[in-house]
Amino acid sequence: MGRITLLAAASALLLVAAPAEARGLFGSRHEAAKPAAAAAVAAADAAAADAAVAATQQALDEQRYGDAGELLDRALASGMTDPRLVLLTGELYLARDRYDEAVNSFTAARATPALRARASAGLGIAQSGLGRSPEAMAALREATTADPMQWRAWNALGVEYDRQKNWPQAEAAYAEALKAPDAGAMVYNNRGYSRMLQGRYADASADFVTALDRDPGFAVARTNLRLSLAVRGEYDRATAASGAEDHAAILNNAGFAAMMRGDLTEARDLFQQAIAERGKFYGKAQENLELAQSMIAQKAPAATPAGQP
């Protein structure tokens, strides 16, 4: 992109310099060329920036973060100062969980009025990632006030309310997020997780199913669906093998859910199956098995002493 800008600038210099010899007779021609040349350079710069922004956004959407980084590096090295590139730099930092750097980029991008809503949403998400709840909620509310269709901001507000166990506000935030036409599987997954925390397991399962309908490759939603089924006691459905998933981990997770339900014998059996499935030492499942066995032993009635009724 930088080459286009530099070539356009070189052409402009030639256009301005060429009429100088004829200035005594046709000075007005030189003066007329200046604004036209400047307009051509500005148009070329704007086109180059638009192209860089579009290509970077596409790379981010497709989770090609290495490509996005290279595109941003080239654009900024060529001297582009478009604030949209600063915003996209924040998005890349956010995608890579580099929250401190994301905060800096989004804070800078907020100075541009047209970008303020999206930049505030990104800023709030980054602050949330850093555990700065008050700052996060302030930025997220600013984003949703400026643009009610900022579904990522509503979604992040839902997560913050979940952390506070403020279930009505969390439910309302996720509902607002889902009003946006481009809201995706993430919102359904997060609302499902919120509902699972509330003990609304059937509703949670329905949300996880919807998330997987939207994005069949969404591994987190699939894991959460299995947990929600196991907590309901549907162990066969929760542990059904599927594709290349780690079946030992699925069995272990189901065992943990069974232990939460108080189905200790079922939990013990699932942990034993997980260990056997792994075929080698499975520390997490072994620890869970020992805990389940300990809980079973504590619940067992004391042995009747010999000779006593």
pLDDT digit string, tens, across residues 100-147: 999 999 999 999 999 999 999 999 999 999 999 999 999 999 999 999
Tally of structural domains, the chain: 3
Are residues 161 and 218 both part of a single domain? Answer: no
pLDDT band for 41, please (50, 70, 90 cuts): low
In a domain, 122, yes or no: yes
Are residues 170 and 191 both part of a single domain? Answer: no
The whole-angstrom separation of Cα 149 and Cα 151 is: 5
Are residues 85 and 150 both part of a single domain? Answer: yes
In a domain, 10, yes or no: no
Are residues 76 and 121 both part of a single domain? Answer: yes
Are residues 77 and 112 both part of a single domain? Answer: yes
The whole-angstrom separation of Cα 181 and Cα 99 is: 27
Q: 158: closest CA among 204, 190, 196?
A: 190
Q: What is the pLDDT of residue 150?
A: 96
In a domain, 309, yes or no: no
Q: What's the token pair of residue 209?
A: 């199913």
Are residues 137 and 81 both part of a single domain? Answer: yes
In a domain, 303, yes or no: no
Q: What's the token pair of residue 47?
A: 């086109």
Res 34 pLDDT > 80:
no
- CA 163, distance to chain mean position in Å, is 17
Q: What's the token pair of residue 13?
A: 């210099």
- What is the rounded average pLDDT for all residues in the chain? 83
Average of pLDDT values for 26-50?
A: 63
Tell me which of 106 and 293 has the higher pLDDT: 106
Could you tell me the residue range of the domain that residue 192 belongs to? 184-232
Final residue before a domain boundary, out of 157, 177, 197: 177
In a domain, 164, yes or no: yes
Average of pLDDT values for 12-18?
A: 33
Are residues 97 and 137 both part of a single domain? Answer: yes
Per-residue model confidence as pLDDT tens digits over 176-233:
999 999 998 999 999 999 999 999 999 999 999 999 999 988 999 988 998 888 888 8
Least confident of 73-77, 162-166, 250-254: 250-254
Q: What is the pLDDT of residue 306?
A: 41
